[in-house]
């Protein structure tokens, strides 16, 4: 008899509630928080003032840490300058690419006249957390994907309703494993705009239920893929459309998942999938080797990907 799944969640303390402990400055707290965020897999960006000309509220090397939820630690001078840096930080988090931003603080360059110090500031923004990858399903393909994805820098969360398939013994490379039912996991796992999601349970019905719950909670991960054949994808999309899932949201789903390599074994499929994750991470979506899926009014145009038929259940 299968043991009753138990649930666990990472607890992340808001920045403004952190205990200073032995830290002696905001900068000490900031770097300590970076370590904590990396361990928790929380997306964030660090902005550093690298050049100031003329009159400005910022000074080199002032820093501000911006989390995906908009909370911050540190400062680059406050006011509208800081608000613009926070806005740019969200782009860095979503794209996971650093950027330099130069801002002129003059009335001519500020539409509302708010930035009128007269000088200019240049800020360097960089992502500081490993991209989170959620794997729904702990079967053989998931294990192969997890092994490879961890090696290229993804932070892994594995969930399955079978304790033996969602354990640290099976996934020692994972930051977290959860034993939970598919629908419950889909409702509770942490997912933000920087998260990568792979749906690959042993059941087509569970995969469909997970996608339905992700849509219901309004999840918009950076990447969401579902394993299986084109036939499975068409049927799944038709069923989801029938229960009201938004067609535009379904267009986010990459299925059949992975680059078109003709992969057959679990390890080959993992190479195909992780290669696609890397392509998305590095902004190379146009280099995808598979035909991009589209969902028209009748969900008819899902194209064939890696596999000619459904995956054997033994792989899931």
**How many CB atoms are located within 10 Å of the residue 101 CB?**
17
Judged by DSSP in three states, 252 sits in coil
Query: Nearest-CA neighbor of 232 among 201, 267, 275, 271?
Result: 201
Domain range annotation of the chain: 20-127, 132-315
- Sorted by sequence, the CB contacts under 8 Å of residue 218 that are 6+ apart come out as none
Mean pLDDT of 286-302: 40
**CB 23, CB 31: distance < 8 Å:** no
Highest mean pLDDT among 25-29, 86-90, 116-120: 86-90
Tokens 């899932």, residue? 245
Structural class in CATH, domain 132-315:
alpha beta
**How many CB atoms are located within 10 Å of the residue 281 CB?**
19
Q: What is this structure's pTM?
A: 0.72
Over its C-alpha atoms, the chain yields an Rg (Å, rounded) of 22
Give the H/E segment covering residue 250. Answer: helix 247-250
6-25 b/e (C-beta count within 10 Å ≥ 16 → b): eeeeeeeeebeeeeeeeeee
DSSP state of 198: E
Kindly give the pairing relationship between strand 223-226 and strand 196-199. parallel
State the pLDDT at residue 54.
80
Cα gap 137→173, rounded to integer Å: 15
Query: Nearest-CA neighbor of 118 among 57, 167, 69?
Result: 57
pLDDT at 18 over 60: no
Cα gap 199→157, rounded to integer Å: 12
pLDDT one-digit tens code per residue, 147-165:
999 999 999 999 999 999 9
Between the alpha carbon of residue 129 and those of residues 189, 226, 253, the distances in Å are: 18, 25, 24
Which of the four pLDDT bands, split at 50, 70 and 90, describes residue 291? Answer: very low
Cα gap 240→252, rounded to integer Å: 13
Q: Is the dihedral of CA 69, 71, 74, 79 positive or negative?
A: positive
Percentage of residues in the chain having pLDDT higher than 90: 55
Judged by DSSP in three states, 31 sits in helix
Tokens 């994907």, residue? 145
Cα gap 25→47, rounded to integer Å: 17
Partnered with residue 67 across adjacent β-strands are: 44
Cα gap 176→273, rounded to integer Å: 21
Cα gap 243→315, rounded to integer Å: 29
Mean pLDDT of the chain, nearest integer: 82
Half-sphere exposure (CA, 13 Å, Cβ side) for 88?
Answer: 21
Partnered with residue 197 across adjacent β-strands are: 134, 224
Name which residue leads in pLDDT, 257 or 314. Answer: 257
**How many CB atoms are located within 10 Å of the residue 73 CB?**
22
- Sorted by sequence, the CB contacts under 8 Å of residue 291 that are 6+ apart come out as 260, 303
Mean pLDDT of 225-237: 92
Which of 106-115, 126-135, 304-313 shows the lowest mean pLDDT across its residues? 304-313
């Amino acid at each position: 008899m299968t043991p009753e799944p138990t649930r666990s969640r990472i607890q992340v303390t808001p920045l403004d509630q952190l205990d200073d402990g032995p830290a002696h400055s905001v900068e000490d707290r900031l770097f300590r928080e970076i370590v904590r965020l990396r361990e928790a897999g929380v997306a964030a960006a660090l902005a550093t003032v690298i050049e100031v000309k003329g009159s400005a509220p910022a000074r080199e090397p002032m820093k501000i840490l911006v989390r995906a939820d908009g909370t911050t630690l540190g400062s680059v001078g406050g006011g509208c300058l800081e608000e613009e840096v926070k806005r740019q930080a969200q782009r860095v988090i979503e794209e996971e690419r650093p950027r330099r931003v130069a801002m002129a603080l003059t009335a001519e360059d500020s539409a509302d006249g708010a930035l009128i110090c007269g000088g200019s500031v240049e800020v360097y923004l960089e992502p500081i957390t490993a991209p989170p990858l959620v794997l729904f399903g702990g079967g053989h393909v998931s294990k192969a994907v997890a092994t490879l994805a961890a090696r290229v820098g993804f932070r892994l969360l594995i969930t399955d309703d079978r304790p033996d398939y969602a354990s640290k013994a099976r996934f020692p490379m994972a930051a977290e494993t959860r034993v939970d039912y598919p629908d419950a996991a889909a409702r509770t796992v942490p997912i933000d705009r920087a998260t990568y999601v792979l749906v690959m349970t042993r059941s087509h019905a569970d995969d469909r239920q997970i996608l339905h719950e992700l849509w219901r909670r309004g999840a918009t991960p950076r990447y969401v893929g579902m394993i299986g054949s084109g036939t499975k994808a068409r049927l799944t999309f038709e069923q989801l459309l029938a229960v009201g899932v938004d067609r535009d949201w379904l267009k986010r789903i990459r299925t059949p998942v992975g680059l078109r390599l003709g992969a057959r074994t679990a390890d080959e499929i993992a190479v195909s999938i992780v290669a696609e994750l890397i392509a998305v991470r590095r902004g190379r979506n146009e280099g995808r080797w598979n035909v991009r899926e589209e969902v028209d009014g009748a969900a008819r145009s899902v194209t064939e990907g890696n596999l000619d038929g459904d995956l054997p259940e033994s792989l899931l």
